[in-house]
Amino acid sequence: MSEGDVIQRTGVPATVETLKTDLSALGVRPGMVLLVHSSLSALGWVCGGPVAVIQALHETIGLEGTLVMPAYTGGLTDPKNWQHPPVPEDWKDTIRAETPEFDPVRTPTRQMGQIAETFRTWPDVVRSTHPHCSFAAWGTHAGEVVEGHEMENGLGEGSPLARIYELDGWVLLLGVGFASNTSIHLAEYRASYPGKAYETNGAPMLVDGDRRWVTVSDLVVDADDFPAIGKQFVVETQGVRSGTIGEGTAFLMPQRLLVDHAVAWMETHRTASEADA
C-alpha cells in the first residue's frame, strides 16, 4: 500500500497519545510481556511512523514491561527451499558461499515490516542469535526471552516463544491477522499429528571467528491453517480482545491459552489425508 493510499483511508492521523489511548482501551497494561506482530500501513497515517508506534507501546507497558518482536531473516535460509520467489539452480552454490554471515547487530529483518525493523535497532533492545527466526526484545525480561535460542528448535522449546509462554505473556496482532501469529508455531512442535516432519536447512554463521555454512535440521512448519485456528480460538475461548488502533484492527490474547488451544486443534484437525495432500 502506497503512502498516498494510507493518507486517503485515514480520517485523523494517529499520534503517540492516541495510540496509547487505543492500546490501553484494548487491554495492554503496564508490566506485560508482550509479543507484537504488526503492519504500520494498517494503522493509517501515523505521526512519526514506526517510531511513534514503538514509543506508544513502550509507554503503555512501562519500564516493568517486556516488548518482543520477530526479527526474522528468511534470506539467510538454504536457497534450495526458496519458493517465493525461487532462484536459478546455478545461483544456489554462490548464495551459500558468499552471503554474509548472520550478525545480530547488523543483519536486517526481512519482510517483518517497518515497526519490527525499527524496533530491532532501538536502544537497549537485545536480539536472539538464531540466523533464521531471531526475536528482538526490550525491557525487564528481555535477556531471559532471547537467551539460549536453539538452532534446532527455532520456534519450539528452545525458542523465545517458549520463554514467553513460561512468563505467561501476551500476543498483540497490530493490524495483522492470525496468519501472522507466530506463537501458533510453538503448538506445532508440541502437538502430535500425521505428517509431522523435519527438514535440513542451513545458514551462514560465524564459528570460531570464521564464516561457515552451518546445516541444521528443524521442524517443517505450516501456517496455512492458522486463520482457522484463530477463528475457533476466538469463538470457543472468548480469550481474544479486539479493538481499533488508529485505523487498524488489533487483537490481544494470552499466549499460553492460545498455544494450548492450538495444540488441541492440530491434534484433532491435522489429519492423515491433509498430510498426504
At residue 41, the 3 state secondary structure works out as helix
Q: What is the pTM of this model?
A: 0.93
Residue 261 has pLDDT above 80, yes or no: yes
Among candidate residues 253, 259, 241, the one with its CA nearest the CA of residue 166 = 259
Helices of type H across 68-168: 92-98, 114-120, 142-146, 160-166
Among candidate residues 82, 113, 107, the one with its CA nearest the CA of residue 175 = 113
Residue 275 has pLDDT above 50, yes or no: no
The model's confidence at residue 166, banded by pLDDT at 50, 70 and 90, is very high
Task: Please name the residue that has the C-alpha cell 525461487.
Answer: 86
At residue 156, the 3 state secondary structure works out as coil
Q: What is the mean pLDDT of residues 222-242?
A: 95
Residue 277 has pLDDT above 80, yes or no: no
Residue 215 has pLDDT above 50, yes or no: yes
Q: What is the mean pLDDT of residues 141-152?
A: 96
Q: What is the mean pLDDT of residues 236-263?
A: 96
Other C-beta atoms lying within 10 Å of the C-beta of residue 78: 18
Question: Based on the number of CB atoms within 10 Å of its own CB, is 1 exposed (0-12), middle (13-18) or buried (19 or more)?
Answer: exposed
Cis-peptide, bond into residue 131, ω within 30° of zero: no
pLDDT of residue 274: 52
Residue 276 has pLDDT above 80, yes or no: no
The model's confidence at residue 81, banded by pLDDT at 50, 70 and 90, is confident
The model's confidence at residue 153, banded by pLDDT at 50, 70 and 90, is confident
The residue with greater pLDDT, 9 or 268, is 268
Residue 20 has pLDDT above 70, yes or no: yes
- Cβ distance 135 to 146 under 8 Å? yes
Transcribe 177-244 into DSSP letters. -GGG-THHHHHHHH---TT--EEEEEEEEEETTEEEEEEEEEE----TTHHHHHHHHHHHH---EEEE
Reading the block at residue 164, the C-alpha cell is 514467553
What is the Cα–Cα distance from 101 to 17, expressed in whole angstroms?
40
Residue 270 has pLDDT above 80, yes or no: yes
Q: What is the mean pLDDT of residues 205-231?
A: 94
Q: What is the mean pLDDT of residues 160-182?
A: 97
